[in-house]
Amino acid sequence: MPDRMEIAGSADPTLLEAGRRGMSMCLDSKPSDRVTIVADEACRVIGAAFLAAAEQIGCETRAFVVERYMKRPLTRFPEQILESMASSTVTVLAMIPQPGEFRARSQIIEMVPERKLRHAHLVAVSPEALRRGMRADYRAIDVLQDRIVSIFTEAGAAHAFSPNGTDLKVTFTPEHRWVKSNGLIFPGNWQNLPSGQVYSCPGSVDGTYVADRSIGDWFEQKYPDLSIHPVTLDLTDGRLRSVRCQNGRLSRELTLFTRSAENAERVGEVGFGTNPFLEFIKGQSVNNEDVPGCHLALGNPISHKTGAKWTAKTRVALVGSGMTVVAGKRTIMVDGSFAPDLFEGLPSLIEAV
């Protein structure tokens, strides 16, 4: 298969350990697995790390470079790629998003529970993020996440604030599930890798959120560094009321984006990063969501995971820094650093702090 040779030829030796941990610890791959690796031109080096690991394990592998089958931006994935993924047990997607491709990527996500796939989603992941984030012991992160979810569930609400102007009150509802992106991927499940966050679709969100790190979807390619023009969101009852930003073009584009579809302006996710090995990287929204802190996503609430009764055709995540988060009487983090007691008994994570 020409695509396989093309991806394999892009291998970076410094990423091989990250690919090995992804295929073994996260995807629990065995020689009996059928693995499909899909990458775009920009992410061949990411795909190569997972391809090499899968072949080292002894898996049957197939690999595709998306631009060989269809022009970008994609409105849907090519049938040849979809058919290969559908007949696999483990799938990996590594690509840089382009405007209008959310629906195409959703095709893959919707296939996962139906086909009982173990799927790793690596969207806009840089080699640096892969090296850092895959150093984590995801079994320890899983324990940390259990502790955090327990605190939020008992409190039913959280208050997030930052020196940059975030002052946000969030209530959670038992009707919506907490989702742990803990890096441990089981059949019928998918996660972004590197991983490390907990999130839910909130009951209500009120106040101000300042995103000074990153913005997701295609925005991050155009605006990779929000520190030079932070985006301020004014939110009432879980909906975006206004966008403020010194960059007028970004403000207008985000406003139009959140008016482009039903529920596009609704807060579909409030999430908390839990991977202490990660640091903020310019233009890497998916990575930045897993850095200890609090982030929001407007639009699609990933209903099949959260249990939300509504949906949206668009989704954009925004990430701010320096977050202090309090739930009930418990302080979760201060200025982006977890409360030390949350790491009790987890030396493999303490070393990263």
**Structure-derived torsion over alpha carbons of residues 47, 49, 50, 51, reported in degrees to the nearest 10:** 80
Q: What is the pLDDT of residue 221?
A: 87
Nearest to 257, CA basis, from 314, 302, 318, 216: 314
Distance CA(312)–CA(210), nearest Å, equals 23
Residue type at 34? R
Structural element, H or E, at residue 152? helix 138-155
Distance CA(59)–CA(339), nearest Å, equals 41
Mean of pLDDT over the chain: 95
Place of tokens 């890497």: 284
Distance CA(197)–CA(234), nearest Å, equals 24
Per-residue pLDDT of 133-190, as tens digits, reads 999 999 999 999 999 999 999 999 999 999 999 999 999 999 999 999 999 999 999 9
Residue type at 288? N
Question: What value does the CA radius of gyration of the chain take, rounded to a whole number of Å?
Answer: 19
Evaluate whether 17 touches 56 at the Cβ level (below 8 Å): no
Rounded to the nearest 10 degrees, what angle do helices 102-115 and 79-86 cross at?
A: 30
Evaluate whether 129 touches 159 at the Cβ level (below 8 Å): no
Evaluate whether 264 touches 314 at the Cβ level (below 8 Å): yes
**Mean pLDDT over residues 311-338, rounded?**
97
Q: What is the pLDDT of residue 42?
A: 96
Per-residue pLDDT of 181-235, as tens digits, reads 999 999 999 999 999 999 999 999 999 999 999 999 899 889 999 999 999 999 9
Lowest mean pLDDT segment, chosen from 75-84, 95-104, 223-232, 267-276:
95-104
* Cα–Cα distances in angstroms (integers) from residue 194 to residues 125, 141, 275, in the given order: 8, 12, 9
Structural element, H or E, at residue 248? helix 248-257
Nearest to 63, CA basis, from 72, 76, 46: 46
| The model's pTM | 0.87
**Mean pLDDT over residues 64-70, rounded?**
96
* Cα–Cα distances in angstroms (integers) from residue 203 to residues 20, 127, 270, in the given order: 39, 36, 10
Domain 2-123 fold is Rossmann fold (3.40.50)
Distance CA(127)–CA(135), nearest Å, equals 13
Pull the structure tokens for residue 346.
């987890």
| Phi (first) and psi of residue 344, to 5 degrees | -55, 125
Q: What is the pLDDT of residue 352?
A: 65
Nearest to 179, CA basis, from 306, 287, 286: 306
- pLDDT-derived band at 350 (thresholds 50, 70, 90) equals confident
Residue type at 220? E
> CATH 3.40.50: which residues of the chain?
2-123
- pLDDT-derived band at 35 (thresholds 50, 70, 90) equals very high
Q: What is the pLDDT of residue 353?
A: 63
Neighbours of 50 (CB within 10 A): 31
